[in-house]
Structures are given as C-alpha cells and as structure tokens.
Amino acid sequence: MSETIFSQILSGEIPVDYLYEDEHAVAFRDIAPQAPVHLLVIPRKPLKSLQAASPSDTNLIGHLLQVCQVVAKKAGLEDGGYRVVTNVGTDGGQSVEHLHFHVLGGRALAWPPG
C-alpha cells in the first residue's frame, strides 16, 4: 500500500500524541475535529479501508472496535454516548486510504449524517 498521512504517523515521521497504543492499534486526536471529542483509531497493519479487510482480519477489526470503546471511556464519553464511524471510498467520504474508525462525541450528533 502506498504511503499515507497515517502511515507517516505510524512511522513517527509525523509526530502525534497517542491516546492509546498497543501492538496492533493506535489512537490519536483528529486534526480537524467535527465534535468536541473526535478521535481516530487505526490499525498498524496498512489496510486501505474496511473493504480491504479479509476474514483473517476479523480479530483485528474486533480489536479496533474494542479500542474505540476504551478511548471513548478515557475521553469521558461513556455516559453521554458517542458514535463510531468508518468511511469507505469516494461515496463514503474517505480521504485517507488507511483504515480508521472515527470516535465522535461530546455533543448530540445529528442523524442521518450528510
């Protein structure tokens, strides 16, 4: 997979403060927050999007969602609730071609999204 902003973050080329990190995943704040709390959870494995995941990635995808739960709690979103989103491809509005889950909260979020 070609280099992306997120692969540069993972390599340390672009420095960010991780809110969470382990062997398989990292989480950090979105640079252009769309809500009072806007976090990104990404795998270290360079998957292009959810659509690029295969059955062998089932545990990884489950783990990423668990990390969303952990960072949401850390950010104080547990009581008020939050939203987890992954954008896929052009119609999904994906701008970085490295799988990521957005964790959004801190205000009431509209539904349906635009």
The contact set with ligand AMP (CB under 6 A) reads: 5, 14, 16, 30-32, 40, 87, 93-96
* 63 flagged as catalytic: no
Q: Which of 38, 63, 98, 100 is catalytic?
A: 100
By C-beta, is 60 or 84 nearer to ligand AMP? 84
Smallest distance, ligand AMP to C-beta of residue 93, A: 6
By C-beta, is 26 or 77 nearer to ligand AMP? 26
Spatial contact of 28 and 16, defined as CB atoms under 8 Å apart = yes
Smallest distance, ligand AMP to C-beta of residue 18, A: 11
Smallest distance, ligand AMP to C-beta of residue 36, A: 15
Q: Which residues are catalytic?
A: 100
